[in-house]
Amino acid sequence: MSSNPSRCSVSGQAAFVDLPANWKLRVLPTADDLAAESTYLIETITCDLARRPSTADSATGDDAAPVPSLRKLHLALSGGSTPKKIYESFARTYFFKQVLDKKAELNLWYGDVRMVPDAHADSNARMVTTALDGSFPDNVIHAVDVAAPAAEAAAKYAAQMLELMPTTDVGGVAVPVFDILLLGMGPDGHTASLFPGTDAPAARDAVCVTCMPGPDVKPRVERVTVTAPVIEAAKHVVLIAAGAEKKEAFRGLVASDAALAEHKEWLRPVIRLLRGCKGAVHLLVDKAIAEGCFRSKCHPVDNNVIEATTGADNGAAA
């Protein structure tokens, strides 16, 4: 994967930003702009995929007879507070109904869940279904069995994915291929429910695992989460993050290895797993995160959207 380190000054210290060729970075002025741009991006990708003729993408992909007009789409939704506005926007536009009208069979999944009852205030399922406000048919969303013990729920959810989704081989493990996988990011660099200091980020022999985050994480409840190989295999990874408290994690995400060697304090191992992604990676962050991470000439927050891709003239090369 070619990468094109760009030299930027971060408050006078030399630092390198390295955006792999399959990454696209968008920096938005506000959290509302971030939600609007993310909604537009997900709708654009989904509609584009929905328009494409279906391939024999049933469970194992090669033996099932192609279903002529029905395209199956698999979107993994993220928990946390940042994506809520996106889901509310989907509900307002009846986006999912539009997709279905395009003769696509839509499947919504959870990239990770907190093992609490669906009615619980910390439930990702509650956040998602409340925000989507019934703007999708009941059978579209695949729920995690939060009443079961976490390990059992993780195994069942993984089996469901492998049964209903196209798969690919990652290191000898059959992994479901999501069309879009939506992710958030915590200040500690966690994504989905792959938390630093646990075994979950390193798990590569399973599709879903359990994870009990450390004492500083709120809510500190057990989670079921997809693993790194699932994130790496997704066709489109859409990472959205807002808030200055995530600036260091963002630096740890975009910095080159050389910069990390100079600035070990930026290293957030979990979020670096995005560098293993084979598909397109869309990073959408707000000004509060990106401010100060780029050289003033390419300071990306002067009331416009900055798109930075490899080799893009973001003024960093000077």
Residues that bind ligand 6PG (CB under 6 A): 78-82, 112, 114, 124, 184-186, 190-193
At closest approach, how far in Å is the CB of 163 from ligand 6PG?
A: 24
| Residue 3: CB minimum distance to ligand 6PG, A | 26
- For residue 282, which of 239, 229, 243 has the smallest C-alpha distance? 239
Q: What is the 3-state secondary structure (H, E, C) of 211-265?
A: ECCCCCCCCCCCEEEECHHHHHHCCEEEEEECCHHHHHHHHHHHECHHHHHHCHH
Min separation Cβ 81 and ligand 6PG, Å: 4
Minimum distance from CB of 102 to ligand 6PG (Å)?
A: 28
Of 50 and 192, nearer to ligand 6PG (C-beta) is 192
Nearer Cβ to ligand 6PG (114/247): 114
Rounded to whole angstroms, the Cα distance separating 143 from 109 reads 7
Q: Centre a 10 Å sphere on the Cβ of residue 264 and count the other Cβ atoms it contains.
A: 8
Q: Are 2 and 21 in contact (CB under 8 A)?
A: yes
Compare residues 18 and 188 and give the one whose CB is closer to ligand 6PG: 188
The CB-nearest residue to ligand 6PG is 184
Q: With residue 248 as reference, give the H or E element that holds it.
A: helix 247-254
Structure tokens at 42: 């997900």
CB of 178 to ligand 6PG, least distance (A): 15
Rounded CA separation 284/236 (Å):
13
| CA trace torsion 172, 175, 177, 181 (10° rounding) | -120
Give 58 or 198: the residue with its C-beta nearer to ligand 6PG.
Answer: 198
Shortest distance (Å) from residue 16 CB to ligand 6PG: 26
Cβ proximity to ligand 6PG, 58 vs 193, nearer residue: 193
Residue 64 near residue 93 (C-beta atoms within 8 A): no
Contact 226, 211 (CB under 8 A): no
- Smaller CB distance to ligand 6PG: residue 6 or 191? 191
The letter for the amino acid at 282 is: H
